[in-house]
Amino acid sequence: MDRQRTIEIIGAPSDLGANIRGSNMGPASIRIAHLKSKIEQQGFKVVDLGDLHVPIRESLMDEVKKECYLGPIREICKNLATITEGIMDRGNIPITLGGDHSVAIGSISGILRHFEKKKQELGLIWIDAHADVNTPTSSPSGNIHGMPLAVLLGLGHDELTSITSKKLRPQNTALIGIRNIDVEEKRILRESGIKFFTMRDIDEKGMFSVMREAIEHASNGTSGIHASFDIDGIDPRYAPGVSTPVSGGLTLREAHLCLEMIYETKKLVGMDLVELNPVNDINAQSANVVVDLILSGLGKSIV
């Protein structure tokens, strides 16, 4: 990655996609852990664009709540898509700080729109304990943070799939670290055509082999790779500050290896770091993990 390129940080402090509160405080927690100065120490210029406006949940009408906040989430994602598209058009690298994972609908839609203008394809590596391929008819809860990958593939709410006409290609989408999937979601995942690696796959093959396969999948015929990292993909022993912890996840070293290997492709175009919930964190442990992961994705090496 060319360190002459500028990193642009955008906060998306929304927890409207989830039924557990607190991830809206994630961007602030990550910034307090010295994100900007630590990226600058790696030789990058950094511009922090601040946070998107996100309405307070309590200020919204009951009808909006009954729709699982679909309307506000659509506006948040539309605004975020405009911002990330602009960052890409400037030749810079967007880092989106969540917020729940529904914000990735916006960040990745903007990057897809940029690639569409250039008639290029985008590869995606999605790290998560959950598959996030639910649709309104399959989801037991209706919470939109369980749907963003499906939306980006073109499935689900028209209000969200319409944010970008260009969709992710399943043959260039890899999902890593899954271990907690709804019953109907399993069928959607199998039929989606994306490449997925469960925690058992990582146990059997090792993270290096899994990442090599995932990168090959995401790189084939694409001009760049975006990494969308849900912090609950990591085992809660290392990152307790999440809304939906699931034991048996990635170790700290496996998480770093994932981003180190993506960096080494020289094709990384952007990152999302989502679902950090400071309410559940312990002494800012998870916030510091997020900052360190971003640094790995930007090329920080052990030696």
Please state, rounded to an integer, the average pLDDT across all residues of the chain.
Answer: 97
Query: What's this model's pTM, rounded to 2 decimal places?
Result: 0.97
* pLDDT computed for residue 57 by the predictor: 94
Contact between 13 and 273 under an 8 Å Cβ cutoff? The reply is no
118-170 per-position pLDDT tens digit: 999 999 999 999 999 999 999 999 999 999 999 999 999 999 999 999 999 99
Q: Which positions are annotated as active-site residues?
A: 101, 128, 130, 132, 145, 230, 232, 275
Domain-wise residue ranges, the chain: 6-297
Q: What average pLDDT does this structure show over 80-94?
A: 98
Contact between 72 and 64 under an 8 Å Cβ cutoff? The reply is yes
Alpha helices in the chain (DSSP H): 26-32, 35-41, 62-66, 70-89, 104-117, 148-152, 158-161, 183-192, 199-205, 207-219, 252-264, 285-297
Nearest in space to 85 (alpha carbons), one of 26, 1, 163, 170 = 163
CA–CA distance, 77 with 249 (Å, rounded to integer): 28
Q: In the CATH scheme, what architecture does the domain 6-297 have?
A: 3-Layer(aba) Sandwich (3.40)
Instruction: Please list, in sequence order, all residues whose beta carbon lies within 8 angstroms of the beta carbon of residue 277, skipping any fewer than 6 positions away.
Output: 20, 22, 23, 25, 26, 241, 242, 243
